[in-house]
């Protein structure tokens, strides 16, 4: 009897041990080998908290981008154009739509709504030679547009659609923008509608890029590193208040035409002035001072007696222009216009571009060591081809022609006296011919070269090579102002450093 009880007890203990082993083995299988899936509600992915808690300033900064994108994007349209095409005159570095296309093909760009009743500003190169223009709004409605007017000298155009109650953009003040300021580019790159990119203003007053193939072209761009690609042309560059500060126009591009770091936008102050005239008159009746100007570098500043490089030098006076009727002379340096400092040619050109013919401007001029004030009433340019300056000829008698050649070793160039035939060819009564310029010399640094005639030095007529050598030697350790002329009749001033040796 007791033996049976003992055997039964052992069986119970053995069963219990098997149950415990089963539970442990089951737990190992579930946790170690994943053979049993957890319930969907029990799954938790990632950490429980973000690694950084944004403060109020960071959150507000992010919201600014979000609000601008939300508000401004409906003010930007996509423009589809069928256009007669021509070869791109701007080369491969700066990309424009419609490059190297066949006789007629479709391209696309962007535009900014500037009035509730359907006026839209875009780039001239977007609608140039257009035979059909279609506008697609943010709400996907499509309209046929007509070209109201174009201004090739600023690469701007205005088109119009028959619509009402459109969301018009707020046009800001490009004079107040700063390098380093955050901006956003909004447009339709590569036909990807309503694309927003962000960056900073990289530089202001970018000119001499060769984007406008005209001697009177106005290049005064805002440079940004916000990504801009083909199709962005005509779109908006906006600040973090949502104000449009520029119209995106071109990019520095790779051989394939894609963005490689920098884009360029036309300042909105120029855009506003041009757009108003195009809407009112269908063209721009821009005023001109009637001068050819050049940059004042360090050597020129020293040769003129300026304390620092500033202003722009008047290289020549356009016949019949506004300046020809006032006391403005070649060799003058324009320091200010209407009280606004002029640091480079772009400053003067972009300011005058906002003024119509008949407007009077005040110029502050540096002449012979003094500042003087002059008023000029801007005139409309009657003929774009009449852009040759007036040559101010010396009244000094011509020196006797001979073959005298003088080496000016301290500046690295050789000059000789002019022959009678050369005086006739260059339409000068005096001067010397540059026959050779040494590599890496001061003369080469100032782009002087063989075939140029030096008419004046230190504002004195140059009669012969010996006189020029003396004038240059008298300026050792300083700089001298030269007036030179090329074989096409173009005159310009050059500042030349004279080493003290």
Q: What is the 3-state secondary structure (H, E, C) of 339-359?
A: CEECCCHHHHHHHHCCCECCC
Contact between 243 and 171 under an 8 Å Cβ cutoff? The reply is yes
Q: Which residues contact 360 (CB under 8 A, 6 or more apart)?
A: 375, 376, 377, 378
SS3 380: strand
Best CA proximity match to 294, nearest among 246, 352, 342:
342
Q: From the candidates 108, 233, 303, 350, which is the catalytic residue?
A: 233
Q: From the candidates 108, 110, 125, 347, which is the catalytic residue?
A: 125
Catalytic site includes residue 175: no
Q: CA-to-CA distance for 298 and 275, rounded, in angstroms? A: 38
Contact between 221 and 156 under an 8 Å Cβ cutoff? The reply is no
Catalytic site includes residue 125: yes
Contact between 228 and 103 under an 8 Å Cβ cutoff? The reply is no
SS3 114: coil
Q: CA-to-CA distance for 202 and 222, rounded, in angstroms? A: 8
Q: CA-to-CA distance for 465 and 447, rounded, in angstroms? A: 20
Compute the residue count for the chain: 501
Q: From the candidates 108, 110, 151, 155, which is the catalytic residue?
A: 155
Question: Tokens 């093909």 — which residue?
Answer: 105
Q: CA-to-CA distance for 268 and 345, rounded, in angstroms? A: 19
DSSP bridge partners of 341: 336
Q: Which residues contact 319 (CB under 8 A, 6 or more apart)?
A: 386, 388, 390
Contact between 420 and 427 under an 8 Å Cβ cutoff? The reply is no
Report the first-to-last Cα separation within the chain, whole angstroms. 133
Contact between 225 and 265 under an 8 Å Cβ cutoff? The reply is no
Q: CA-to-CA distance for 20 and 123, rounded, in angstroms? A: 81
Residue 477: C-alpha distances to residues 497, 499, 501 (Å) = 8, 5, 8
Q: CA-to-CA distance for 458 and 493, rounded, in angstroms? A: 10
Q: Which two tokens stand for residue 494?
A: 């050059």
Q: Which residues contact 347 (CB under 8 A, 6 or more apart)?
A: 205, 220, 312, 340, 341
CB atoms < 10 A from the CB of 286, how many?
22
The residues assigned a catalytic role are 125, 155, 233
């Amino acid at each position: 009897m007791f033996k049976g009880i003992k055997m039964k007890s052992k069986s119970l203990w053995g069963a219990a041990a098997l149950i415990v082993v089963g539970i442990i083995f089951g737990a190992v299988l579930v946790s170690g080998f994943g053979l049993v899936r957890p319930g969907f509600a029990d799954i938790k992915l990632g950490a429980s908290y973000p690694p950084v808690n944004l403060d109020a300033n960071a959150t507000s900064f992010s919201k600014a981008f979000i609000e601008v994108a939300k508000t401004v994007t409906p003010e930007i349209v996509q423009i589809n154009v069928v256009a007669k095409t021509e070869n791109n005159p701007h080369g491969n570095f700066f990309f424009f739509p419609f490059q190297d296309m066949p006789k007629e093909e479709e391209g696309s760009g962007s535009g900014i709504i500037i009035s509730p009743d359907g006026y839209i500003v875009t780039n001239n190169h977007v609608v140039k030679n257009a035979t059909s223009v279609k506008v697609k709004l943010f709400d996907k409605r499509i309209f046929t547009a007509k070209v109201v007017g174009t201004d090739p000298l600023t690469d701007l155009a205005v088109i119009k659609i028959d619509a009402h109650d459109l969301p018009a953009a707020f046009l800001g003040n490009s004079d107040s923008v700063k390098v380093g300021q955050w901006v956003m580019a909004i447009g339709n790159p590569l036909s990807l509608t309503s694309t927003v990119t962000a960056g900073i203003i990289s530089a202001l007053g970018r000119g001499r890029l060769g984007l406008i193939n005209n001697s009177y072209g106005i290049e005064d761009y805002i440079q940004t590193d916000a990504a801009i690609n083909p199709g962005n042309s005509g779109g908006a560059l906006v600040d973090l208040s949502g104000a449009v500060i520029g119209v995106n126009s071109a990019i520095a591009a790779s051989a394939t035409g894609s963005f490689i770091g920098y884009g360029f936008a036309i300042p909105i102050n120029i855009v506003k002035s041009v757009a108003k005239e195009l809407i009112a008159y269908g063209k721009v009746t821009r005023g001109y001072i009637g001068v050819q100007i050049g940059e004042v570098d360090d050597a020129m500043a020293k040769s003129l007696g300026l304390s620092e490089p500033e202003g722009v030098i008047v290289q020549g006076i356009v016949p019949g222009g506004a300046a020809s009727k006032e006391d403005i002379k070649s060799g003058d340096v324009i320091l200010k216009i209407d009280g606004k400092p002029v640091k480079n040619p772009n400053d003067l050109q972009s300011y005058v571009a906002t003024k119509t013919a008949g407007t009077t401007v005040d110029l502050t001029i540096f002449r012979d060591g003094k500042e003087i004030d002059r008023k000029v009433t801007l005139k409309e340019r009657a003929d774009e081809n009449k852009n040759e300056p007036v040559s101010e000829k010396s009244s000094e008698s011509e020196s006797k022609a001979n073959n005298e050649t003088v080496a000016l070793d301290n500046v690295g160039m050789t000059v000789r006296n002019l022959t009678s035939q050369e005086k006739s060819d260059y339409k000068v009564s005096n001067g010397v011919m540059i026959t050779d310029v040494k590599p890496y010399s001061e003369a080469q640094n100032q782009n002087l070269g063989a075939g140029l005639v030096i008419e004046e030095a230190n504002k004195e007529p140059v009669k012969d090579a010996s006189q020029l050598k003396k004038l240059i030697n008298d300026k050792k350790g300083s700089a001298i102002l030269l007036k030179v002329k090329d074989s096409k009749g173009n005159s310009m001033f050059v500042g030349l450093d004279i080493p003290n040796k």
